[in-house]
Copies of this chain bind each other. A is one copy, B any other.
Amino acid sequence: MSSIIHEFLKFLPQEAVITGEESLRVYECDALSAYRELPACVVLPETVEQIQEILRICHQAGVPVVARGAGTGLSGGALPVADGVVLSLAKLNRILEIDPDLRLARVQPGVRNLSVSDAAAAYGLFYAPDPSSQVACTIGGNIAENSGGVHCLKYGLTVHNVMGLKVITIAGELIQIGGEALDSAGYDLLALMTGSEGMLGVVVEATLKLLPRPVHQQMLLAAFASVEEAGNGVADIIAAGVIPAGLEMMDNPGVRAVEAYVHAGYPTDAAAILLCELDGVPEEVAVESKQVIEILKNAGATEVRLARNKQEGERFWAGRKAAFPAVGRIAADYYCMDGTIPRKHIARVLQRITELSEEYELGVVNVFHAGDGNLHPLILYDVAIPGELERAEEFGGRILETCVEVGGTITGEHGVGIEKINQMCVQFKTEELTQFHAVKEAFDPQGLLNPGKAVPTLRRCAEYGAMHVHGGKLPFPDLERF
């Protein structure tokens, strides 16, 4: 390692090569802080050429490299590897170009998500994916994890909003993927790279799609006496052909936690509430609002409120946006899960989560992107009570396995990282995992880029299958139903 650091220092200034334990501590984890590991060193390059050189050196020496953005990831995707290098993209933080005619932004990976919309606002444009962490998280990290947000129901995940990438391979080669045109010749490496959790290459530039800011927005809030009716309301809206800009659901524990914290005016006696944002030209929004109110009433809503003005609409949202800190006030710790299910199974899966909550004797709050079936159960625990963290993790794993059971998937927008790697064994068969490994090998034959993340080894799956709590076999043998 010391010879590698010596190599780095030939083209990087002293302060861009971090090695002291104290300084490395900052990089030992991302937002999944239950997992920590000290890397051997952290490098902070400023140019694409420096990144190429860093990767070339690591490639030749066979040293693992973990790329890192803002470290806000929730699945441990940026967890360092012991004796490995952390490649921070923090200094590549420039917006290179906003092209209002083509409605594109060309940015470096270390640019914060919200900065893109801020820069595009002058042209009446915005960048649609809006993860909760959008003030802090970076575009590079968003691409690595294929991030979503409250508006991805209508405007898509990151993969739907990236047009082109410049990527450095582990061998230090620059390749360009996609571009400014709708389609692209050759294999579609753009989607393959997006969401690949830093395991196939290092993104050094991205061309992002910008959208015109909606002319008009309308918020609605609906209360339900049962979670089932709320879930059906969601399915009915989508089935009617309405695509809201956002369609969020919160169960009673969530509503009460939020009300106690920000006084958003939510009905605390509701079993569940839905928040629905419609956007477009005013005439279209007016028609859709009427339609959605009728659908929600037919689905059994006990109350439907139409925000009378922008301020009231923002108050409706404020509660949703404060949900995580609100839950932080009622529990010592919480563990945020992230699975996606076909919408029609929302009520069934929430019922199962309630049962598991009793089984594990841990509270749970459900606050999630209902429109696209992306669940975020928050499991409440106290790390100071021995065994609670382990129980929370196992409970979380069971929730993800339930998602797979109903035809869903173990990730919505947070990625697999280290957190969900065991559940990959439940989601995929040996043949599919083998194909994933072959793809990895096509980009990184030595397995140096973010090793140990996202795709489990077959051996790990065999062990997980053997030790799994459900009696030595994987819980859902019938995975053919897709």
Contact = CB atoms under 8 A, between A and B. Distances in A.
Interface of A: 100-103, 124, 146, 148, 152, 157, 159-160, 164, 166, 169, 173-177, 179-192, 194-196, 200, 207, 211-212, 235, 238-241, 280-281, 283-284, 286-288, 340-344, 372-374, 407-413, 416, 420, 423-424, 427-429, 431-432, 435-436, 438-443, 454-455, 479-480, 482
Contacts of A424: 185-186
B239 A181 contact: no
Nearest to A186: B436
A423 to B, nearest CB: 8
A284 B214 CA distance: 13
A427 to B, nearest CB: 6
Given A146-B188, A175-B429, 6 more contacts: A102-B343, A176-B429, A185-B411, A188-B194, A188-B196, A192-B439
Contact of A427 (B185, B429, B439): B185
The 6 A-B residue pairs whose C-beta atoms are closest, nearest first, are A212-B241, A191-B191, A283-B283, A284-B284, A438-B442, A442-B442
A373 B182 contact: yes
Contacts of A211: 241
A102 B342 contact: yes
A177 to B, nearest CB: 8
B101 A416 contact: no
A37 B331 CA distance: 70
A122 B456 CA distance: 44
A389 to B, nearest CB: 23
Contacts of A412: 181-183
A164 B479 CA distance: 14
A164 to B, nearest CB: 6
B287 A176 contact: no
A390 to B, nearest CB: 23
A344 B185 CA distance: 20
Nearest to A407: B180
Contacts of A194: 188
A239 B342 CA distance: 35
Contact of A175 (B188, B432, B441, B442): B432
Contacts of A284: 280-281, 283-284, 287
Contact of A442 (B195, B439, B455): B439
A177 B287 CA distance: 38
A186 B428 contact: yes
- Which of A148, A180, A187, A343 counts the most B-chain CB atoms under 10 A from its CB? A187
Nearest to A338: B183
12 contacts: A101-B344, A173-B431, A174-B431, A175-B432, A175-B435, A179-B407, A182-B412, A185-B423, A281-B283, A281-B287, A283-B283, A283-B286
A480 B175 CA distance: 10
A183 B427 contact: no
Contacts of A341: 181
Contact of A239 (B100, B173, B409): B100
Contacts of A152: 182
A187 B436 contact: yes
A191 B416 CA distance: 19
